Every structure is written in structure tokens, then in C-alpha cells.
Amino acid sequence: MKCKSCGNTVPDGSVFCNICGERLVKAKAKAKTEISVPKPRQLKNGDWYAQMMVNGELVYVSASTEKEYFAKARAIKAGMIEQKKTRAGIILRRICLDFIESRRSVLSPSTISGYEGIVRTRFLDYMDKDYLQINWQAMINTEAARCSPKTLKNAWGFICTVLAAQDMDKPKVRLPQLVAKELPWLTPEQLPVFLKAVKGKPCELAALFALHSLRKSEFIALTPENIKDGFIYVEGARVRNGHNELVYKETTKNASSRRKVKIRIPRLRQLLAEADTKPGEYYITMSTNDLHTAINRVCDSVGLPHVGCHGLRRSYASLAYFLDIGERETMRDGGWSDYHTMHKKYIKLAEADAAAPDAMDEFYASLENS
């Protein structure tokens, strides 16, 4: 046998090397007595953290120093201290992931994807801490330096929902002030300019669907089966799943989203009649990002504000208000279930008072005849 210390050959069975005197079984004995645990990683807050399996249970171990981590992890694995099975369940990341998993079959793919994104990218200094011991205001303060107030508000809203599922009261924290941005839309005076500029463009069909109040996820899900007797039957939507793939879902945003919308713009009736889209095929094949960009390019070409797809949906509500169309009808066509939401977010009044036609049909018909 060879001495691992000096490399010289010594008689088999020797306890010590007869050249250097090193104990020959030292390294082997050490390997047998030392408990193997995963190598930790250092979090941004300075703690050392890793997870490991103990008797079939996933255990989370963290400590303030690397040396302390190894001592704690080996003690846990050796059974020297009691590790409650529920311990892994009170880590913030764990309860967030459990919340998502328990609702995977009832939430939309895009909602699930958004929640998973929050767990993956937000509050990283606190995700692996015991949620019962987190200083929530400190967590908010840390994240406020890394993202916009709106992003933080959305992420915090998810955390509060998760905590509520744990029967915990909503923590009292102060969030950064959210400055409301003025969302763009097209006024009744601007609509004729836009319709003329978008005519014949690849994005025209999508733009006309949006001007009929449809959400982007709704109009990219339309097939010839959804067009009947002068109406658009909104019965589903296409949204992105956790793999960033567009998938179809039959139920839309809320009960009011399932609706039929009268085709009011003559140009849309013409385009649908001329379309060679086969049954089961989607009318809109452009990517959603390309649609948004294309619509804004049209706006640029005629000096209009960038409205994108959703700004055209807001333009529908604004035009309905301008034409003195009843709010109940506007809510029904737009698929809004909440009156206050429609008023707060979608009804935008033109500054100039103008004589309004009696209905939206007449408004668009007059544009065709002008």
C-alpha cells in the first residue's frame, strides 16, 4: 500500500508510514465520520443558505456564517437537533409556491406566470426567511430601490394574498407613492385620422376589433366561428402560460367578458367578408408585440399619441360616452363587470364639446360617407 502523505510504499496493514510517520488511516476515518451536506450559497443579505433532504423531507437551512451553516446542517442531518417537518412550510418562498400550486387549475396561465415571476425576481433577500419573523416594512424599503412603484405594488399585493391564505392579517406598511399615468386614447376627432391611416395596413383588422371594445387576448382568439349575423361572439381568449406560449382558454376575464358585440364599423364587415381565414383558424396571426408596434407606427405617421391595442379599447369607451350611449350598454359591449372600473380607467372625455350623433353606428357610417 502507498502512504497518501509522502507517496512511498509501505507494508500492507501498517497503521503508520515507516518513512514519514503519518497515520495511514486518518483520511479514511475522517471521511467516514464527517456528514456530507450541500454546499451553501450566500444570499444578498449575507446569510448562507441551502436545502437538503432528510428522511425524505425537504429541509431549508440558513445561518449567518458559512461555518455556522455547516455545523447546523450536519447537526440536523445527524438528528442531533429536532427539525420540525413544518419548518420548511413557513419559509416565504415555500408558502408562495404552495399558494400558486394549489390554484393552478383555477387561475389563468398568465396569472400563474405572473405570480411565478414575482417569486423568481422580487423580494429575493427575504424569500428564504421565516415569514413570521420578517420585517415587512424593511422588505418593502429594500425592494423599492430595485423596481418601480407600480411593480412593487403588484408584487406586494400577491404577498398579501398569500399571507391571507395563511390566516394572517395584512401587514401595515407604507408603499412608495404611485403617480397615476395618463393613459392615451383617441378622441372622436382623432378617430377618423387614425382609421384613414391604418387602412390597408397588416394591423388594421386587429385595430378595428380593438375599437369594438375587445381586449387583445380576446381578439387574437377570434375565428370565423365567432362572427355570426353581424355580431362578434367573444367566448374565449388566448393568453401566455408559464412557458410563454399562447394557449386558448374558453372562459375569459370575468362573467361579463362572454358577450356578443355588434359590428359597428363598416370597414370591419368588409374585411371579415373578404378574409380567406378558414374555420378554426385565427384571424390575427401577427404577434402581440408586433401588433402593438405596428399600431403605434400608424399613430406616429399622422401625429397621434401612441395608444397601442389597449388604447383603442379605451377609445371605444370614450366614444360611447361622447355619443351619449347608455353606460349599461357600454359596459355590456366592453365586458366590464364593474362600473367604477370603467369610469376610472376607460372613460376619457374629449376636452371640446361637439354635437354628437345619436349612436356609434351612425358615427362610423358618417365617416364612410365623408
CB 149 within 8 A of CB 177: yes
pLDDT tens-digit readout, 274-325: 999 999 999 999 998 999 999 999 999 999 999 999 899 888 888 887 887 7
pLDDT tens-digit readout, 61-117: 888 899 998 988 888 887 755 444 444 458 899 999 999 999 888 887 878 888 999
Residues in the chain: 370
How far is the CA of 103 from the CAs of 85, 107, 111, 240, 295, in angstroms?
A: 23, 6, 10, 17, 36
* Interacting residues of 9 by C-beta distance below 8 A, sequence separation 6+: 1, 2, 3
Distance CA 346, CA 314 (A): 5
pLDDT tens-digit readout, 28-44: 444 445 688 899 998 87
pLDDT at 92: 93
pLDDT tens-digit readout, 253-282: 566 678 889 999 999 999 999 999 999 999
Distance CA 266, CA 364 (A): 7
